[in-house]
Amino acid sequence: QVQLVASAGGSVQSGGSLRLSCVASGFTSCTRCMAWFRQAPGQEREGVSAIDSDGTTSYADSVKGRFTISQESAKNTLYLQMSSLKPEDTAMYYCAAGPYIVRQWAILRSDNYRYWGQGTQVTVSS
């Protein structure tokens, strides 16, 4: 049984930092291939950052230079270090795994993932 369990998010002021984590278990296909997505109220779910089968990372333009995705394979854990947070980063954040296509052009597409975590709220106040 596949499980993705994300850590609690939090509330910070603009300019602050947060780190999200997601512990994965139960799947075998490309265990490295994982991603973070986010969804703000009234908006579509968008890809934030992902790691592909080669270990290459991708980021949405809106977070480049501020967010860093990483993995700790021994703990089956995915991280998202978020710095210089802005109010527009406020959203529910989800980790995802089990992509159908493990290429760069697909790894930030929400319809490309089989498995999803429960979501964790990040709120950034101005």
Q: What pLDDT digit, counting tens, does each position of 7-23 carry?
A: 999 999 999 999 999 99
Beta partners for 22? 6, 78
| Other Cβ atoms within 10 Å of 28 Cβ, number | 7
Q: What pLDDT digit, counting tens, does each position of 19-66 carry?
A: 999 999 987 777 789 999 999 999 999 999 999 888 899 999 999 999
CA distances from 87 to 11, 14, 67, 125 (A): 10, 6, 14, 6
pLDDT at residue 103, as a whole number: 87
Does pLDDT of 80 surpass 80? yes
Tokens, residue 98: 């089990």
pLDDT at residue 32, as a whole number: 86
